[in-house]
Amino acid sequence: MRQIILLFLIDVLISGGVATWLYFTRGLNAALMTGLSIFVAFSPICFILASPFTLYLLRKKISKLGVKVNKPEAFKTLNDVNVVALPYNRVLTCGECYITDLVPEGLNQPTLLAMAAGTETDAENILGRTIYDTATARGLRLQKSTNFTEQAGCGVEATVRGTIMRVGNLAWLESLGVSISAKLRTKIDQLLVKGKTVLIVSTGRVARGAIALIDEINDEAIKFLFALKAANIESLLLTAQPKKMTSYITKNFTLDNIRTNLTPEGKAREVQIFRAKGKIVAVIGNDEHDLPALKSADVSFLLAGGSLKASDDVKLDFEIPTLESFLSVREVMLSVAKVLKVNRWLALASWVVLIPPALFTALETPPIPWHPLASLAGVIIFSTIILVNALRTR
């Protein structure tokens, strides 16, 4: 819009300047004829139809796919995307977790589950809610916790009867100096290679057991990754899951790059590394933990169905209902890019054809007889051609 306003101001200045000069040198009639001819020939109408109007039609078409466009300028970058980054949970998986294994040490399974659920009482992440809901459904008695904190991508911490309790991933608890027995580590490794998410439950600095959860594989994600490969777009998995799960992930999904043990900030850092290599990165996410990576992307897509919701503070480029929508938007944009290119050349051609004869009218004996109506007719002809071409995007 700023470019259009600038073109209009330049048009007024040029046509007005020439008309003023002719008024004092050749009179009012010459000033009006030449000024109007230049003003109409140089008008940005063709450029308005060539780009803003075409993009308006594009947005309407994409909205029919259930996609919301928050930043139209992102369309230009979308054509050049060659890497798509996405998380594991609730994108490659269905987002319906359930507990498969309770591995206690020095206590029984119900006690382990109750300890974890008491710690997760105020948790907002899907794993914590699953543990809490399972414990309450089984009628377990939960101890009241205080001082609850949640470390994004790591786990939760709370105080129960004066003791610090934690439920989180292996890497986080190890970084805090929590002691984990060799027997428990072996069991954790066995669960991870089966594709299960494992959370360690600790009191103080001692691990009291592990809880394994699983989320079913998303068949749509498998098809999506194959489609990315067919389109020559690299896939990049960004996950907080341990490296031990890599073999399970690669067995079920066709991925070009996998980065594990990542915090939300770590995901953003990986995106920035790929961009530093000259890659154009699109990030798809639907969780609060994905937000730093989404903000670091060249193009960001908020996928429906997650904990991350659009708001004034979270205004990503696109909001899509399914993974397939990304490919649909890109396919539409690739076809529209050809229309835009032709329209811009036509708009430029209108200037090349119409402006010179309009300028020649400033001469006492112009080589080409010209009239403001001729400029108007030329603009109408070019605008009609551009409009017809733009309507191909519908």
pLDDT (tens digit per residue) in 166-212: 999 998 999 999 999 999 999 999 999 999 999 999 999 999 999 99
Name the band, by pLDDT with cuts 50, 70 and 90, for residue 276: very high
Query: If you average pLDDT over residues 348-376, what whole number do you get?
Result: 86
Q: Write down the pLDDT at residue 213.
A: 95
Average pLDDT over residues 82-97: 91
Exposed e or buried b for every residue in 317-338, given b needs 16+ CB within 10 A? bbbbebbebbbebbebbeebee
Domain for residue 61, yes or no?
A: no
Are residues 146 and 83 located together in one domain of the fold? no
End-of-domain residue from the set 175, 193, 216 = 216
pLDDT tens digits, residue range 153-177?
A: 789 999 988 899 999 999 899 999 9
Mean pLDDT of the chain: 90
Structure tokens at 182: 């060799």
Predicted local distance difference test score (pLDDT) of residue 257:
96
* 228 in the same domain as 87: yes
Both 87 and 224 in a single domain? Answer: yes
- 60 is a domain residue: no
Q: Which residues have C-beta within 8 Å of that of residue 130, sequence separation ≥ 6?
A: 97, 98, 99, 213
Top-ranked range on mean pLDDT: pick from 10-14, 50-54, 323-327: 323-327
- Can you read off the two tokens belonging to residue 62? 């994409």
Domain at 177, CATH number: 3.40.1110.10
Cβ–Cβ under 8 Å, residues 233 and 85: no
**Domain tally for the chain?**
3
The answer on 126 and 205 residing in a single domain is: yes
325 belongs to a structural domain: no
Quickly count: other Cβ atoms within 10 Å of residue 72's Cβ. 13
Residue 329 placed within a domain: no
End-to-end CA distance of the chain: 22
Asked whether residue 88 falls in the same domain as residue 222, the answer is: yes
Mean pLDDT is lowest, of 156-160, 291-295, 309-313, for 309-313
**pTM for the whole structure:** 0.78
* The residue type at 385: I
Extract the runs of DSSP E, i.e. beta strands, from the chain. 68-69, 83-86, 93-104, 146-151, 155-160, 163-168, 197-203, 206-217, 234-238, 257-259, 281-285, 299-303, 318-320
C-beta separation of 214 from 196 below 8 A: yes
Least confident of 16-20, 99-103, 117-121: 16-20
Give the CATH number for residue 251: 3.40.50.1000
Question: Domain check: are 129 and 273 in the same one?
Answer: no
Q: Is residue 39 part of a domain?
A: yes
Shared domain for 257 and 349, answered yes or no, is no
- Residue 262 structural domain: 68-92+218-320
